[in-house]
A and B are shown apart, each in its own frame.
Chain A
Amino acid sequence: MPRPVAVVAFAQTEHSGEDRGMAEIEILAPVITEIKERTGQKQFGFTCSGSCDYLAGAPFAFVSALDAIGAWPPISESHVEMDAAWALYEAWVKLQHGDIDTALVYGFGKSSQGNLRAVLTQQLDPYHLAPLGIDAVSLAALQARAYMERSGAKEDDLRAVAARSREAGHGNPFALHLPAPEGDDYDVAPLRPYDVAPVTDGAAAIVLAAGDRARELCERPAWITGIDHRTEPHAPGVRDLSRSDSARVAGEKAGATGIEVAELHAQYTHEELILREALGLGEDTVVNPSGGPLSANPMMAAGLIRIGEAAARVHDGSASRVLGHASSGPCLQQNLVCVLSGENHG
């Protein structure tokens, strides 16, 4: 029986679609300040972050971000070179050990200062994929076609996802407020520009707490009732791109049933459709009421934000069983599912 751990606080930046002239640490620092104030905590039992050096073009770029959290006297700290949802998983595991009661998790990324598509090429297999220069959108478009040809979904179905996400994003003060989808030109066919998440700068932070500490720090903690992550082979040619087996298994292991609200880390419209199918989300599940990554996609924070946005529905009492999802790697290679509940645990 895992130790009861909850999301007790969530903060994020007002994300930006363009360079506002702030360094990564300047984007991050106010979020850390805010979440410390909200929880009344200056110190945490563990700190874990997610970021990507290639976004800044500098090795160990995450180290300088430690200045934002105050790393003296020395703290217990770790980092993942991927979305901070995986940093949250590491922190959850650390909390399971039982020797700490709180953890701070944060992620940040400033995608606007380079060519994001080319940056993401560097995460690919260096023997067969990266030397071809294939970019993230071209890879996603291969998956979109495979999905449409298998499922019978049409380009209009993708457009509907974009329209709903952008509309929802208008109700989210932290998201970019993008116009309704229009135009027939492709980006990389079959994807049009609105099928692709916008380049976004931003940061987010979450505080996890265990047992009674959670109840002290939050009126309605969002208890993590299940969390799991799975991966598939890196090579796209050995997978059935039209499906996401790793999301399906992660969802099953995390106990993703009876979900009222799901926040999906779908960075392309077709990914939402693949994920809905893999996670068995029906019409009665509200998907991405925040607008999702199609309305704001700060790299390395967007997955963590999905967990935070889902938890926020529990915090405000508007839902009691929610799901946060994060993905990483080409064509939804890796998937993390976190099921949260407002029911009293522990």
Chain B
Amino acid sequence: MPSDTAPVENAPGDTGPPEPNHVLEFPGGYTRSVGPVIGRFFSELRDGRLVGVRTADGRVLVPPSEYDPQTGEDVTDEFVEVGPVGTVTTWSWVAHPAKEHPLDRPFAWALIRPDGADTALLHALDLGIFEEGAKPPKFLRTGMRVRPRWRAERTGGIGDIECFQPEVTMINAPTRLEYRLKGGQALRRFLEGMSEGRILGHRCPVCESVIVPMKGLCPRDGVPTTEEVELPDTGTVTTFAVNNIPDPRAPEVPFVSAYVLLDGAGLTMLTLVAGIPADQVRMGMRVKAAWRPREEWERTMGNIKWFEPIDEPDVPFEEIKDFM
């Protein structure tokens, strides 16, 4: 029976939603018999199983009903275990849960067709922790695979499923290995040069091109190289890429990584290009190394922060096309 109290006006100056002065409630709940079909569904739910009922034409209805919604005919008495994994057929996203809702943080409602069923079950879908008012997460979509989270204490009702959750499709496994690397003789000599502000290369005894940074051999001819050559810190951009993913070594996003052909070199070096908007970098652009302050120099390529444009005409494509 409804419980009733006399209407009460809100006090003067009282803002906000008025308190209810009338409540309709059936204390202890409303007792309903469920019958053999819904009863079987709830009994199986209590045991942690999801079942549907087969219709005369072989379809499986979940949740089961006493009749085929298409024909109105009685269903068979064959109950079929389905799911528990299912597919979301449509969903809505509740950014501000109401007190009547099953979750107190943003969640989705979804129609879920369990594997092996021909109809869908409505339930709440928990996608993790979101702040009140959050927009629907990008990974929530029709077709998503989900499975029930069962309540530990089950009583035989739709609430025995606390909610559904996405299938596990990804894991995150931390990885870390430790090394003690040595760079080899040629690299050691190159970095020694860098620590003095010099860019060193090797001239190949066969093709006479200068390889920088040197490797102790010529990649073109496959012969050892030993003749050291110091190169200027100016060069030409041969090709480049605009990067939109942040990198701790880059000044800002977007940044440009480029192959620079140092003047007199026979191979390009991979480096950063800065000091110019990313969309103005071009092939053939003349650049010069931007060195860190001398007191910061170490035995590292990082002594050159990046290359910056210099006020010289671009090099024609014909002259750099063989160095791409």
Select from chain B the residue with minimum beta-carbon distance to A129.
B122
- A126 on the B face (CB < 8 A): yes
For A117, the chain B residues whose CB sits under 8 A away are 98
For A142, the chain B residues whose CB sits under 8 A away are 90-92, 109-111, 122
- A22 on the B face (CB < 8 A): no
Point out residues on A near B: beta carbons under 8 Å: 54, 57-59, 115, 117-118, 121, 126-129, 131-135, 138-146, 149, 185-186, 188-191, 233, 235-238, 241
Given contacts A132-B102, A143-B90, contact A237 B111 (CB under 8 A): yes
- In the complex, A121 Cα to B91 Cα: how many Å? 18
Pairwise interchain contact A141-B119, C-beta atoms closer than 8 A? no
Pairwise interchain contact B122-A237, C-beta atoms closer than 8 A? yes
For B62, the chain A residues whose CB sits under 8 A away are 237
Given contacts A131-B159, A189-B135, contact A144 B122 (CB under 8 A): no
- In the complex, A66 Cα to B238 Cα: how many Å? 89
For B121, the chain A residues whose CB sits under 8 A away are 128, 237
- B264 on the A face (CB < 8 A): no
Pairwise interchain contact B109-A189, C-beta atoms closer than 8 A? no
Contact of B102 among A115, A133, A236 (CB under 8 A): A133
A interface footprint on B61-105 (CB within 8 Å = 1, 0 otherwise): 111010001000000000000000000011111110010111000
Pairwise interchain contact A127-B34, C-beta atoms closer than 8 A? yes
Select from chain B the residue with minimum beta-carbon distance to A19.
B18
Contact of A146 among B30, B90, B123, B124 (CB under 8 A): B90
Pairwise interchain contact A132-B2, C-beta atoms closer than 8 A? no
- B321 on the A face (CB < 8 A): no
For B122, the chain A residues whose CB sits under 8 A away are 128-129, 132, 134, 142, 235-237
Task: Write 24 A-B pairs (CB below 8 A) sorted by A numbering.
Answer: A57-B2, A58-B2, A118-B98, A121-B100, A127-B34, A128-B63, A133-B100, A138-B92, A138-B94, A142-B109, A142-B111, A144-B92, A145-B91, A186-B136, A189-B92, A189-B95, A189-B135, A190-B92, A235-B65, A237-B89, A237-B112, A237-B120, A237-B121, A238-B119
Pairwise interchain contact B2-A126, C-beta atoms closer than 8 A? no
- In the complex, A57 Cα to B26 Cα: how many Å? 12
Residue picked from B2, B92, B157, most chain A C-beta under 10 Å: B92
Interface size of B by Cβ–Cβ distance < 8 Å?
43
For A138, the chain B residues whose CB sits under 8 A away are 92, 94, 109
Pairwise interchain contact B101-A131, C-beta atoms closer than 8 A? no
Pairwise interchain contact B102-A57, C-beta atoms closer than 8 A? no
Other A-B pairs beyond A142-B110, A142-B111, A185-B133, 6, CB < 8 Å:
A57-B2, A58-B24, A127-B38, A128-B122, A142-B91, A237-B121
A interface footprint on B21-49 (CB within 8 Å = 1, 0 otherwise): 01110000010101000100010000000
For B142, the chain A residues whose CB sits under 8 A away are 145, 149
Pairwise interchain contact B69-A233, C-beta atoms closer than 8 A? yes
For A131, the chain B residues whose CB sits under 8 A away are 157-159
- In the complex, A194 Cα to B92 Cα: how many Å? 16
Q: Smallest CB–CB gap between A136 and chain B, Å?
A: 11
Pairwise interchain contact B158-A132, C-beta atoms closer than 8 A? yes
Select from chain A the residue with minimum beta-carbon distance to B25.
A57
For A135, the chain B residues whose CB sits under 8 A away are 98, 100-101
Select from chain A the residue with minimum beta-carbon distance to B35.
A127
Select from chain B the residue with minimum beta-carbon distance to A143.
B90
For A189, the chain B residues whose CB sits under 8 A away are 92-93, 95, 135-136
Q: Smallest CB–CB gap between B257 and chain A, Å?
A: 36
Select from chain B the residue with minimum beta-carbon distance to A149.
B142
Select from chain A the residue with minimum beta-carbon distance to B161.
A132
Select from chain A the residue with minimum beta-carbon distance to B93.
A189
Select from chain B the residue with minimum beta-carbon distance to A127.
B38
- Restricting to B258-317, which residues have a CB under 8 Å from any CB of A? none
- B215 on the A face (CB < 8 A): no
Given contacts A134-B109, A189-B93, contact A238 B61 (CB under 8 A): yes
- In the complex, A191 Cα to B97 Cα: how many Å? 15
For A58, the chain B residues whose CB sits under 8 A away are 2, 24
Select from chain B the residue with minimum beta-carbon distance to A130.
B158
- B147 on the A face (CB < 8 A): no
